[in-house]
C-alpha cells in the first residue's frame, strides 16, 4: 500500500443498525474527494442490532480542511443516524503514558517498538512506583517519574499521577503495573487504560495467575490485554493468546514463557488501539484488525 | 445473527480501483430494499490497484425479483465500473463432486459435515479410481462411481469422469485424489477444482511430502488447500495450517498427524468457497473469511 | 520405528524420588532381554519430590513370560522403591465404553479413528440417554444401548449403565454426555472416565460455555479433556487446545468451531490414555506425549 | 525445581543403539552420587538405529571432581558403547558471539534476555558489517566491532572476524547477518553457528523471503533457526514457527510480523543450544526441549 501516515485518517462509528448507513457514509466521503483504503463493518444482529463501522481513508485530494470535514460529517451523516463517532488524523500521534512497577519486559517491548517507529505514538512519561527502571527508560529519551505509592498515601500518589498525566496523555498502558487503581482514577480514563493481565481471562483473575495455573495443571498458559474498568480484571478484552506448557514447566518457567506472551499480546493490543481498530460495545470489543 | 439461508445472497466484485465504488454498490442495494449483513473490501494498492468486494445481504424485502436485481446491477453498477462480478443466492446450494482414491479421511470429513448440514452443498457424485470406499460413501446416501484409471486409459477415464460431472457439478474437490489430472480436464474447471496437498506449500511439492518433511527435519508439518491449475501444486492457495512435530515422530506418525491437518484445512477451504468468500487474483486469493 | 503392537509393553511408575531408580528399572529390564524404545521421566522436585517414569519396551526376546516379568518387577524393583506401578501389554487392547447424548461429533471422531485402526481399543458398548444415534453407531459394528435417564429414575438408570459396563469396559469416555454422573458412579471408575468439556477450563465451567464465552467477549475459545471426579469440571486436565474467534462469530459459530476443537482434544487425550502416557498426580497430570 | 546452575551438569550422548545403554549410564552416575533431574532419550529405530541421550544432573554430592567424573565416564561407559559424548557444567557459561548487519530486532532480543539473566551466556563481542548498532550494543556493556565487508575484501574481513572470535567464542549467532560466510569460515565452526532465516524453510530459501511469500500468496509466514553449513539455508533445523497472514498484509506488514517470529524462534533455538538440548544427526536435529 502506497499510503502515508501524513494523509491517513480514520473514522469509527457505532449506531443503531438500519439500511443505508454504509451508502450514506461512503457517498459523503466520495463527494469530498476522499479515497477509502480500508472498510470494516459489523452488525451485532441482522435486524435491530448495533452497527459498527471503521474506515481508513486517504486525504491528499480532500476538498475541504480536516476540521471542515469533521464538522460536515457530524451534521450531514452522524446526526440523522444517531452515531457515536470519531474521525482522527494519523498525522497527530496519540500520546501514550505507561505505568509500570518492577517487571520491565512489557515496557521494554513497547519502548523498543516506539524507538524504531513501529508504534506511532508519543510517550510523554513513564510513571513507576519503583525507581528501578529509570535508566532503562531514559536511555530511550523518555521521561521517567517515580511516584511511590503505598497504603498510607494512595490518594496522594494517584493525585500526583493524575497531575503528570492530565492534558499530557491520551491513553495509558499498564505494563505490569502491580498496584490497583482507584475507581475514581479509572473513571477519569474511561476505555483509555489498557492493562496486560498474565492469564487467559476469565481464568485466573487476581493475584499470581502463573501459580494458579500451575495449581490447576492447565496445559496452556495465556495473556490478556483489556481495557480497565472499576471491576478488577473484568474490563473489555482486546486481545489474548496462549502458549503450550506441560508438567515439565515449573512456576518460574511459566513466568518466563508468559513474559513472551504478555509482550506480544500487549504490543498487538496497543497497536490496534493506536490505529483506532478497537470499538468498545458494552463489556466486549469489536476489533477490526 | 438471525438470518436465513433462504433469503441470503452474496455479491463478489473485482474491478479497477477508483473512488466511489462502495458508495455506488451500497446505494444501489439500499434503494432495492436490501439489508447488508457483511461487507468486506480490499484494495491491492491505495492508488491504481485492483479492488475486491464481497457483500452478504438479506433479501426478504427486496423490491424486485432476484433475476431483475442481477440484471439491474449489471447495467447500473457493474458496467460503468468494469466489474467482474457475481451475485448468488444461498437458497440454491452449489453442487460439489468429490474425487478420491483410497485415503478416506478428507472425504469422510466432508461427508460428515455435509450429512449434519454444516456444509451447505448438494453432492451429485463421488468418483474414485478405486472401488474401496463405495460402502462408506453410499452409507451417506451419496452416489459412488468407480472409474478405473491407468496409463493406458487416461484419456478415456477422464472423458468418463467429465461425462459424469458435466452439468451435474458446480465445483470439484480432490480429497486426496492421487492421479494427476490432464491440463485439458483442468481447463474445463477453471478455479473450480479444490485440492488438498499434504504439505505447507511451496515446501514439499510433489510426491510423498511427509517423507520429504522427515528427510529435511522440519519442526512443523502442514497442509494446503488450493485451486488446481495446469501446473502441479502451483495454483492459488486458499488455506494452510501447520502442526508441531519433533524427532519423536516417524513418517507414519507424520501421516497420522497430517491427516488431521488435511481434514481441517480442506473443510475450511471448501466452506469458504461455498460461501463465496474466495476471490482469485492472479495466482493468489483474497479470502474474506 | 519398526515396532509391533504385539510385542510392545509399557511400564508406568510413580514413587518417592530418590537416586538410583532409573538405574534399577533399566538394569532389571536389560537383564530380562527387553529393548527399551521410549523412556520418559519427571521429578516434581529435584530433592524430595515425586518421581514419575514411563517406559515403552519391546518383548520379542523377553526371557520369561509377561506374567513372570510383572511378578518379578513387583518383588525386585517396585517394592524396595515403594512404587505405584503398572505394566501393560499393548497386545491386550483396552476396552473403551462411550457415553453420549445427542451431539454426535465427538463420538463420530472416536468411532472413525477406531474403525481405521488408529485408536487401538475395543468398544464393547456405546450408551446414550437418547435413541438418536443408534444407526450411526451400529453402522460401525458397535453395540448401542439406550438408557433413558431423568430426575425420577437417575439411580436406576445409573444402575443399568453400571450393569452394562461392569466387567466389560476398562475406561469410559463421555463424548458430550450431558447428564451429571452421581458421585457414587464416579467413585467406581476412579481416573477411568474421560470427559470433554467445551471450554478452556477453568474458564467457563458449568453449563453452556459457548454462551458464557460470547458474553465475556474472549478472543479464543477452547476445549478441555479431563478425568472425571466428584467435583464437576474440576478433575485432572489431560489436554486442552484453543482456536481464535472474533466479534464476527455468533454463539452458533462458536459451537461449530468448538466442535472441531472438542474432536481433536478428545482424540488426543484418549489416545494418550490408551497408550498409558498419562499419570495422575493429585489433581494434575503428567503426560508423556 | 530447586536446582542451581552452579551444580547443574549435562550429558549428551550419541551412539549405536543397543540394549543396556541407559542402565550403564544411570548406574555409573548413581554410583558417583549424582542426582538425575532430567533424562531424555531417542532411538532413530527400534532395532539397529542410532541412540541419543541427554541427562541433566545435580552434582552437590558428587564423590569426585568434575574432571575425574568426565575421565571416568569416558573410560567406563563411553568407550564400550562407542559414544560421541560431552559432559558440560552449567557453572561455565558458554561464550556467544553475535554477527549482525543493520536489522536490530533479533540482536536486541538476545541482548535483552542476556541482560536480565534469562540467557545464561557470556557475550565477548558483537561483530557487524555496519557501524549503525554500536551505541545500542554498547549500552548493554557489550563490545562492538565493526568489520566492513564487501566483494573486494571478503577474505580479509573474514580473517579479521576469525581473529576476533578465535579462542573468545564457543558459538556464533547470525542475528540477521546479511553476508554469506565462506565455506572455509563455516568449516571452522561446525554446528557452532546458528542462523535465523526469515521463512519457513525449505520454502523461500535465498533472498527476500517475505517478497517471495507475498508473490506465492501463502497464508502463513514463518521463521527458521538452523545450524549453518556450507550449503546456504540447508543446515540442520533447530526450531521453526509460523504466524497467520492474509491478503490484507503488504510486504512491509509481513516483514513487521516476521520480526516477531524471528525473535521468538531464534531466542528459543539459542536457549536450547546453550542448555545442550540439541543433538545434530546427519542433517537433522534431535531437540530435547
Distance CA A210, CA B245 (A): 26
Class of residue A46 by CB neighbours under 10 A (exposed 0-12, middle 13-18, buried 19+) = buried
Closest by CA position to D241, among listed D257, D271, D265: D265
- Compute the Cα dihedral for A267, A278, A197, C213 and give only its sign: negative
What's the rounded Cα separation, in Å, for the pair D175 and D188?
19
The yes-or-no verdict on residue C1 having pLDDT over 60 is no
Q: What's the pLDDT tens digit per position in D105-145?
A: 999 999 999 999 999 999 999 999 999 999 999 999 999 99
Q: Answer whether residue D2 shows pLDDT above 60.
A: no
Shortest Cα–Cα distance, C1 to chain D (Å) = 5
Query: Would the CB atoms of D46 and C22 count as touching at under 8 Å?
Result: no
Residue D1 has pLDDT above 60, yes or no: no
Average pLDDT over residues C212-229: 98
C-beta atoms of B45 and A1 within 8 A: yes
- Alpha-carbon distance B247 to B254, whole Å? 11
Catalytically annotated residue among A40, A208, A233, A241: A233
- Nearest by CB to residue B217, choosing from D222, D246, D285, is D285
Q: Round to whole Å and give the CA distance between A287 and C217.
A: 11
Contacts of residue C260 in chain B, CB cutoff 8 Å? 264
More confidently predicted of D142 and B47:
D142
- Out of D23, D33, D38, the one facing C27 most closely (by C-beta) is D23
Cβ pairs C/D, distance under 8 A: 64
Element (H, E) at D194: strand D193-197
Q: How far is D160 from chain A (nearest CA, A)?
A: 31
Please name the residue of chain D whose CA is at the shortest distance from the CA of residue A251.
Answer: D1
Write the pLDDT tens digit of every residue in B175-217. Answer: 999 999 999 999 999 999 999 999 999 999 999 999 999 999 9
Q: What is the pLDDT of residue B151?
A: 85
Rg of chain B taking only CA atoms, in angstroms: 21
pLDDT in tens, D185-243: 999 999 999 999 999 999 999 999 999 999 999 999 999 999 999 999 999 999 999 99
Min Cα–Cα distance to chain D from A151, Å: 30
Question: Smallest CA–CA separation between C7 and chain B, in Å?
Answer: 18
Phi, psi of C54 (to 5 degrees): -135, 130
Task: Suggest the residue from C4, C46, C60, C245 to mutate for an interface test with chain D (most D CBs closer than 10 A).
Answer: C46
Q: Among candidates B211, B208, B261, which has minimal Cα distance to B239?
A: B261
Asked whether the domain spanning D96-287 has the same topology as the one spanning D5-89, the reply is no
Measured CB to CB, residues of chain B less than 8 Å from chain A are 1-3, 19-20, 22-23, 26-27, 29-30, 33-41, 43, 45-47, 58
- What's residue D259's pLDDT? 97
Nearest to D218 among B218, B240, B248 (CB): B240
Mean pLDDT by 10-residue block, N- to C-terminus, for chain A (289 residues)? 82 95 95 93 87 95 93 98 97 97 97 96 98 96 96 94 98 96 97 98 96 97 98 96 97 97 98 98 96
Minimum distance, in Å, between the CA of residue C236 and any CA atom of chain A: 7
**HEC profile of chain B:** CCCCHHHEEEEEEEEECCCCHHHHHHHHHHHCCCEEEEEEEEECCCCCCEEEEEEEEECCCCCCCHHHHHHHHHHHHHCCCCCEEEEEECCCCCEEEEEECCCCHHHHHHHHHHHCCCCCCECCCEEECCCCCHHHHHCCCCCEEECCCCHHHHHHHHHHHHHHHCCCCCEEEECCCCCCCCHHHHHHCCCCEEEEECCCCCCCCCCCHHHHHHHHCCCEEEEEEEECCCCCCCCCEEEEEEEECCCCCCHHHHHHHHHHHHHHHHHHHHHHHHCCCEEEECCEEEECC
B46 vs A1, A33, A45: nearest CB = A1
Name which of A118, A250, A260 is nearest D256 (Cβ-Cβ).
A118
Dihedral pair phi/psi, residue C26, rounded to 5°: -70, -35
* A104 neighbourhood in chain D, CB within 8 Å: 116
pLDDT above 90: residue B42: yes
For chain D, list the contacting chains (3+ Cβ pairs, <8 Å).
A, B, C
Reading the block at residue B276, the C-alpha cell is 463465496
- Distance (Å) from the alpha carbon of D15 to chain C's nearest alpha carbon: 15
Look at residue C17 in the predicted model and tell me its pLDDT. 93
CB pair distance less than 8 Å for C116 and B139: no
pLDDT value at D247 more than 90: yes
What distance in Å separates residue B116's CA from the closest CA in chain C? 9
Query: CATH class for domain A5-89?
Result: alpha beta
Q: What pLDDT shows up at residue C2?
A: 57
Domain ranges of chain B: 5-89, 96-287
Positions of B annotated as catalytic residues are 233
Q: Which of D2, D29, D39 sits opposite C41 (nearest CB)?
A: D39
- What is the residue-averaged pLDDT of chain C? 96
Catalytic: D233? yes
- Pairs across A and D, CB distance < 8 A: 14
Q: Where does the pLDDT of residue B1 fall: very low under 50, low under 70, confident under 90, or very high at 90 and above? A: very low
Give the residue from chain A lying closest to C233, CA to CA.
A216
> A37–B46: do the CB atoms touch at under 8 Å?
yes
Task: Provide ipTM, 2 decimals.
Answer: 0.95
Give me the catalytic one of C233, C241, C253, C260. Answer: C233
Phi, psi of D157 (to 5 degrees): -65, -40
CB-CB neighbors (< 8 A) of A246 in chain C: 287
Distance between alpha carbon D70 and the CA centroid of its chain, in Å? 23
Choosing among A46, A203, A278, which should be mutated to test the C contact, i.e. which has the most C CBs within 10 A?
Answer: A203
- Our CA-based measurement puts residue C28 at a distance from the nearest CA of chain A, in whole angstroms, of 26
Considering only CB atoms, which residues of chain D are within 8 Å of chain B? 42, 52, 200-204, 216-220, 222, 236-242, 246-248, 283-287
Which chain A residues touch B35 with a CB distance below 8 Å? 19, 46-47
Fold held by C96-287: Rossmann fold (3.40.50)
Compute the average pLDDT of residues D147-157: 94
Residue of D nearest to A2 (CA): D250
- Confidence (pLDDT) at A151: 85
Average pLDDT over residues B127-140: 96
Cα A21–Cα A24–Cα A30 angle in degrees, nearest 5: 135
Residues of A near C (Cβ–Cβ under 8 Å) read: 42, 52, 200-204, 216-220, 222, 236-242, 246-248, 283-287
Among candidates A23, A36, A39 on the partner chain, residue whose Cβ is nearest the Cβ of B27: A23
| H helix runs in chain D, sequence order | 21-31, 66-73, 105-115, 134-138, 154-165, 183-188, 209-216, 251-274
Give A97's strand partners: A172
User: Which chain C residue lies closest to A42 (C-alpha atoms)?
Assistant: C248
Assign D58 a pLDDT band (cuts: 50, 70, 90): very high
Residues of C in contact with D26 (CB under 8 A): 20, 22-23, 26
The verdict on a CB contact (< 8 Å) between D116 and A104 is: yes
Residue A5 has a pLDDT of: 86
User: Which one is predicted more confidently, C5 or D255?
Assistant: D255
Please report the pLDDT score of residue B3 as a whole number. 76
Picking from C108, C118, C264, the nearest residue to B112 by CB comes out as C108
Amino acid at each position: 500500500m502506497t499510503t502515508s501516515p501524513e494523509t491517513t485518517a480514520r473514522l469509527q462509528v457505532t449506531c443503531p443498525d438500519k439500511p443505508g448507513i454504509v451508502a450514506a457514509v461512503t457517498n459523503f466521503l466520495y463527494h469530498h474527494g476522499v479515497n477509502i483504503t480500508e472498510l470494516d463493518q459489523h452488525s451485532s444482529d441482522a435486524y435491530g442490532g448495533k452497527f459498527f463501522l471503521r474506515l481508513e481513508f486517504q486525504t491528499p485530494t480532500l476538498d475541504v480542511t480536516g476540521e471542515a470535514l469533521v464538522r460536515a460529517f457530524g451534521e450531514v451523516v452522524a446526526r440523522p443516524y444517531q452515531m457515536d463517532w470519531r474521525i482522527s488524523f494519523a498525522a497527530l500521534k496519540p500520546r501514550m503514558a505507561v505505568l509500570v512497577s518492577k517487571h520491565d519486559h512489557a515496557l521494554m517491548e513497547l519502548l523498543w517498538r516506539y524507538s524504531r517507529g513501529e508504534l506511532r505514538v508519543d510517550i510523554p512519561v513513564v510513571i513507576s512506583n519503583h525507581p528501578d527502571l529509570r535508566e532503562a527508560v531514559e536511555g530511550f529519551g523518555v521521561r521517567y517519574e517515580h511516584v511511590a505509592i503505598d497504603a498510607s498515601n494512595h490518594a496522594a500518589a494517584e493525585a500526583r499521577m493524575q497531575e503528570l498525566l492530565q492534558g499530557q496523555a491520551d491513553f495509558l498502558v499498564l505494563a505490569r503495573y502491580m498496584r490497583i487503581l482507584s475507581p475514581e482514577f479509572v473513571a477519569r480514563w474511561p476505555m483509555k487504560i489498557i492493562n496486560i493481565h498474565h492469564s487467559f481471562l476469565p481464568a485466573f483473575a487476581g493475584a499470581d495467575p502463573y501459580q494458579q495455573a500451575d495449581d490447576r495443571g492447565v496445559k496452556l498458559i495465556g495473556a490478556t490485554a483489556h481495557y480497565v474498568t472499576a471491576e478488577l480484571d473484568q474490563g473489555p478484552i482486546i486481545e489474548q493468546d496462549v502458549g503450550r506448557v506441560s508438567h515439565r514447566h515449573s512456576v518460574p518457567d511459566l513466568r518466563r514463557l508468559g513474559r513472551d506472551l504478555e509482550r506480544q499480546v500487549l504490543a498487538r493490543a496497543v497497536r490496534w488501539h493506536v490505529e483506532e481498530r478497537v470499538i468498545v460495545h458494552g463489556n466486549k470489543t469489536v476489533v477490526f484488525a
